Amino acid sequence: MQLHLSTWAEVETYLKTSKGIIMPIGSTEQHGPNGLVGTDAICAEVVAKGVGDATGALVGPTIPVGMAVHHMEFPGSMTLKPSTLIALLRDYVGSLAEHGFERFFFVNGHGGNIATLRAAFYEIYAENRALRGRDAPDLRCTLVNWWENGEVGRLSRELYQGKEGSHATPSEVSLTQYAYPDSIKSAAMDPEQAPAGGFHDARDFRRRYPDGRIGSAPGLARPEHGQRLYEAAVGAIATQYRAFLAEQ
């Protein structure tokens, strides 16, 4: 059940049996020579929708732009400053909490969002406490990265054998190819697998990784891999969502 395709009366009915909601968050940033700028948002959205279908959970609107300051030397990349993203998340959760939602399960598509998401959760808890004191609702926020679970990890190792890398990975490119088969891109990549490593700011990133990839060989991506990765992720994360709701 997707919030944007529901009526308010349907949401009212939903709230009688669940206080949980799934919130996809992605990023709009370069993903190497053959990756889409929307890769992270697409992956988060597609997986979140799958988890919603599997569990009956309501799925909120995808946050399309996240924290991607380090990608800003590549055209098309967009970013919110961390402080802006915190304000946005505070308003999202605050809006939904007014209606009685209490369990916020973020399905994240972008490693760069993690720190700011976690910081935002505490900003939300602090404000909840300040505004409502002892009567504050029991709000709980958590995040899962769609690629960080045993099922997806095993599949990635099987499919890419050490060429997954950490940015513009064949897994995420495959997932977008599955989701948007009309937008599969081809591009020459040399070397096949990009160098791995860390980075500091945006200029440092581009200097180290001139085509945008880190440690990955996204030329290996295939839409049929994407389908298998999608199914693995949905299965694993549906279990995580149910456990989150069941937690005392």
- Positions 86 through 125 that interact with its own copies (CB under 8 A): 86-88, 90-92, 94-96, 98-100, 112, 114-120, 122-123, 125
Which CB atom, from 15 or from 54, has the smaller least distance to its own copies? 15
Residues 42-61 that bind its own copies (CB under 8 A): 42, 60-61
What's the burial of 138, exposed, middle or buried (CB within 10 Å: 0-12/13-18/19+)? exposed
CA 132 to each of CA 55, 96, 228: distance values in angstroms, whole numbers, following the listed order: 31, 16, 45
Q: Which stretch binds its own copies (CB under 8 A): 37-45, 46-54, 146-154, 155-163?
A: 37-45
Which CB atom, from 171 or from 176, has the smaller least distance to its own copies? 176
Residue type, 195: P
In the stretch 122-161, what mask flags binding to its own copies with x, by CB under 8 A? Answer: xx-xxxxxxxxx----xxxxx-------------------
Rounded to whole angstroms, how far apart are CA atoms 94 and 90? Answer: 6
Please tell me whether the peptide bond between 191 and the residue prior to it is cis, using omega within 30 degrees of 0. Answer: yes
Residues 9-28 that bind its own copies (CB under 8 A): 9-12, 15, 28
Among 22, 25, 37, 214, binds its own copies (CB under 8 A): 37
Among 22, 30, 107, 215, binds its own copies (CB under 8 A): 30
Among 54, 69, 196, 245, binds its own copies (CB under 8 A): 69
Residues 177-206 that bind its own copies (CB under 8 A): 180, 183, 185, 187, 200-204
Size of the site for its own copies (CB under 8 A): 91
Structure tokens at 18: 């669940």
Which CB atom, from 111 or from 235, has the smaller least distance to its own copies? 111
Q: How far is the CB of 6 from its own copies (least distance, A)?
A: 6
Among 55, 79, 171, 193, binds its own copies (CB under 8 A): 79
